Amino acid sequence: MTESRENFENLNQKLLTFVDNSPTSFHAVDNMKAILEQAGYNRLLEGESWKLKEGGRYYVTRNDSSLIAFQIPKRDFVGFQIMASHSDSPALKIKANAEIQIEKKYVKLNVEKYGGMLCSPWLDRPLSVAGRIVVRTAEGVATKLVNVDRDLLIIPNLAIHLNRKVNEGYEFNAQRDLLPLFGGEKAKDGLLKQIAREAQVEEGDILDTDLFLYNRMKGTVLGMNNEFIAAPRLDDLQCVFGSLMGFLKATPKDSAAVLCVLDNEEVGSGTKQGADSTFLRDVLRRIHLAMGRSEEAYIMALASSFMVSADNAHSIHPNQPDKADPTNRPFMNEGIVIKYSANQKYTTDAVSGALFKSVCDRAEVPYQVFFNRSDMLGGSTLGNISNSQVALNTVDIGLPQLAMHSCYETAGSKDTAYLVRAAQVMYSSSIQGAGDGTYRLYFHQ
């Protein structure tokens, strides 16, 4: 008990450190690269020929914001065991020529929304800037990550005295209400100077930027008995981190293990590195080509493959419990949530649901079920979008959380460990097609 409790606290601290160090999708991928390299994974580049070997461990990135890592078993393999999550979160993105002077007394920044966020949590709290810049080099251009690691900005609310009705509901105007205060009159022309200083480049060499605001508040463990964690970007860095930890512990034997973390889920996945791109398909095909397998063998492998689309789910809200389905009631700390939707916004069907339940049973991990209320539209996620590129048996799951798309979200302190364990078992297993709708499961852990 003491040991497992220690492990579990340790895991939450590691998750919160990972989240704190990952203010943008670029940083999340950079941190994953460091963890994978330390675990002996070899970097591949999409623009170079791949020489892969049995038992090999590799990773490849696209746009520095999506990453796919894979382990090839020591012997011939039949399919792929994939877990996919997303690296991005809703945020405010800084536009070009961002500085706006207010009566020569203040400087504020011009920003726009990235993704569907809850706006109000972004107000009245210290924020800063992180992302990537692209600089001129002797040979062309190069990318650099930046994170201004100090309290830099704030988006102030309007006092209640100036809008007495605000608590009856407020419609945020992104162009008027969400622009952060950057400084006094001397702050003018300071933003790019600050960014150049952080990145140790000449300001004049900065050709373009992808810079986002982020919440400076660190993640924490809370609740009478430390039941909860709260942090920015738990959707979906909790699944990114949990799947990565499970992947690293796995020992695949009959199927290749594939960790897939994709950018731009929050804006519809339609980018070259998103779930609707060729990235996953290209990587799976290239694994086959590099191992000297035929096109038919690739298609056969997909029939013996399984994908878990892991993106956080809504827990029952303590103040609004009636917002959830009447008979399917997911709670934090009660296990992994399997998501269903009749119109297939989630990919889960009876077959993929049953297969994932079998994995959870084997892992001795609790699971629960999510449906939207029948009179409410829910969100969508990676699974069904990715299936239009690589069609395979897929289940949509997530960890239960509150306040999704706030810049500070709450989740259960036990659930990350459940995902790690389920991912480890899933990645070590093989789910092989034995006729349409019939599958054999081989567990190796």
Instruction: Kindly list the residues in this chain that would bind Co ion in the complex (CB under 5 A).
Output: 235-236, 311
Q: How many Å apart are CA 285 and CA 197, to the nearest integer?
A: 42
Q: Which is nearer to Co ion, 58 or 356 (CB)?
A: 356
Tokens of 431: 């789910």
Q: Which is nearer to Co ion, 30 or 236 (CB)?
A: 236
Shortest distance, position 332 Cβ to Co ion, whole Å: 16
Q: Which is nearer to Co ion, 107 or 332 (CB)?
A: 332
Shortest distance, position 59 Cβ to Co ion, whole Å: 22
Phi, psi for 428 (deg, rounded to 5) = -90, -5
**What is the chain's percent helix, strand, coil content, to nearest 5?**
30, 30, 40
What distances in angstroms separate CA 391 from CA 115, 165, 178, 341, 432, one per listed residue? 26, 51, 40, 18, 15
**Host H or E run for residue 421:** helix 415-428
Q: Which is nearer to Co ion, 113 or 288 (CB)?
A: 113
Q: How many Å apart are CA 367 and CA 334, to the nearest integer?
A: 7
- Buried b or exposed e, range 195-226, using 16+ CB within 10 angstroms: bbebbebeeeebeebbbbbbbbbebeeeeeee
Helix or strand or coil: residue 279?
helix
Q: Which is nearer to Co ion, 30 or 409 (CB)?
A: 409
Helix or strand or coil: residue 191?
helix
- Burial status of residue 15 (CB atoms within 10 A of its CB: 0-12, 13-18, 19 or more): buried
For residue 64, give the nearest of 24, 94, 102, 107 by alpha carbon: 24
Exposure on the CB side of residue 21, measured as CA atoms within 13 A: 15
Tell me the pairing of strands 66-71 and 57-62: antiparallel
Q: Quick check: 282 and 298 in contact, CB under 8 A?
A: no
Helix or strand or coil: residue 177?
helix
Quick one: how far is CA 344 from the chain centroid? 21
Shortest distance, position 86 Cβ to Co ion, whole Å: 6
Shortest distance, position 79 Cβ to Co ion, whole Å: 26
Q: Which is nearer to Co ion, 341 or 432 (CB)?
A: 341
Q: Quick check: 242 and 423 in contact, CB under 8 A?
A: yes
Q: Which is nearer to Co ion, 235 or 334 (CB)?
A: 235
- Burial status of residue 60 (CB atoms within 10 A of its CB: 0-12, 13-18, 19 or more): buried
Q: Which is nearer to Co ion, 236 or 334 (CB)?
A: 236
Q: Which is nearer to Co ion, 94 or 262 (CB)?
A: 262
Shortest distance, position 312 Cβ to Co ion, whole Å: 6
Q: Which is nearer to Co ion, 90 or 246 (CB)?
A: 90
Q: Quick check: 415 and 333 in contact, CB under 8 A?
A: yes
Q: Which is nearer to Co ion, 198 or 235 (CB)?
A: 235
Tokens of 182: 């950057």
